[in-house]
Amino acid sequence: MITGSIVALATPMKVNGDIDWEALRRLVNFHLDNGTDGIVAAGTTGEPTTMSFAEHFDVIRTIVEEVDRRIPVIAGTGSNNTTEAVELTRYAKEVGADYCLTVAPYYNKPTQEGLYQHFKAIAETSDLPVILYNVPGRTCSDIYNETVLRLAEVDNIIGLKDATGNLERAEDLISRLEGSGFMLYSGDDGTACDFMLMGGHGDISVTANVAPKAMHELCTAAVAGDADKAHQINTRLMPLHTQLGIESNPIPVKWALNRMGYSEAGIRLPLTWLSERYHSTVSEALQLAGLIEDAG
C-alpha cells in the first residue's frame, strides 16, 4: 500500500489546449527526482472530463511507461456513468497502473445505495485495487462514513481519498477502520497534515505538483507521528495550500507550473487561465515556499 505524498498530477497542455506529451514526461521525472511517493494519472486535477477517451487512455499509458515501476501509479477512472468507469478501470489495468482512483458520480446525485452499487460494480469487474474519492464540494455527491464502511468490506476496494476537509469526520473513519488495512488519504492539502497525524496514511495532493520534495518530507513526518517537523513544513507551505485554491483547481496550479517553467500556458475550456489579479498572490506563495526567487 502507498503511504506519503501522492501527487494529483496536472496534465501539461500547449497554449492551444493540446496535451504536451514531452512536458508530461518531464513533469513525471520531476516527481521521480524529488521524492513523490505515488502519481495519480488523469485524476480531477489532470482535467480528464475535457479529454476524449483516447486522450484519457494515452495520459494513463504515458505516465505508466515513464514511471516504469519506480513508484506506484494510480489511474483516475471516475465517471458519473458506471459503465464508463468500469471501462476506464479495465484499461488502466491493461496498461499497468497499480491502483485506480474513482470519484463519486457527479451531477446524477445518487443515493447512498446507488453509490454503494456503483463502486461495487467497478471493484467486481476488475482486479485493479480501487480507491474511492469523496469530494462533495465538486460532485454534489457525498459518500457518508457508513457507506465507506460498507464499501471497505468489498473485495478490491482498498482505500478512500477524503477531500471534505472535515477532520472530525476523518477521525471517526480512522478510529473505526484501525487495523483493517483500509487506506485513508487526505485530499485537502490545508488539513492533510492533521489528517495524517491522526492516523491517515498520506495525502493525494495538489500542492505536490509544485512542491514535491517538501510535500514528501511533510507526509513522511506526519505519517511517522513527528508532529513538530510536520507542522514546521506545513506552516511554510500553508500559503501555497491556500492560494492554489484561489480559483477552481487546476487553474492556479497550472499557472504556477507555467511560472516555474514546467509547462506552457495551456488549459481547456470551460476552465480559463488564472485571472491576472491573482498572479502576484500565487507568485508570493511560491516564493514563500522557496520555489521561486522573485515573486515579481
| CA atoms of 131 and 263, how far apart (whole Å) | 29
161 given a catalytic annotation: yes
Task: Choose, from 93, 161, 185, 262, the residue flagged as catalytic.
Answer: 161
Distances in Å between the Cα of 169 and the Cα atoms of 140, 154, 188, 204, 284 are: 17, 21, 13, 18, 33
Each as own residue / partner, the long-range contacts of residues 166-169 (CB below 8 Å, 24 or more positions apart, any chain) are 167/191, 167/194, 167/195, 167/198, 169/145
Inter-residue contact 10 to 44 (CB < 8 Å)? no
Secondary structure E strands in 121-221: 130-134, 157-162, 183-186, 202-205
| CA atoms of 129 and 182, how far apart (whole Å) | 11
**Which is nearest to 150 in space by CA: 182, 179, 195?**
182
Flag whether 63 is marked binding: no
| CA atoms of 192 and 202, how far apart (whole Å) | 8
| CA atoms of 221 and 229, how far apart (whole Å) | 6
Residue 199 identity? G
* C-alpha Rg value of the chain to the nearest Å: 18
262 given a catalytic annotation: no
If you ran DSSP here, which 8-state letter would residue 78 be given?
A: -
| CA atoms of 283 and 296, how far apart (whole Å) | 7
Inter-residue contact 210 to 240 (CB < 8 Å)? yes
Query: What cell numbers appear for 207 in the block?
Result: 500542492
Flag whether 45 is marked binding: yes
Task: Choose, from 91, 133, 185, 262, the residue flagged as catalytic.
Answer: 133
The set of catalytic residues is 133, 161
Q: Please state the residue numbers annotated as binding site for pyruvate.
A: 45, 204
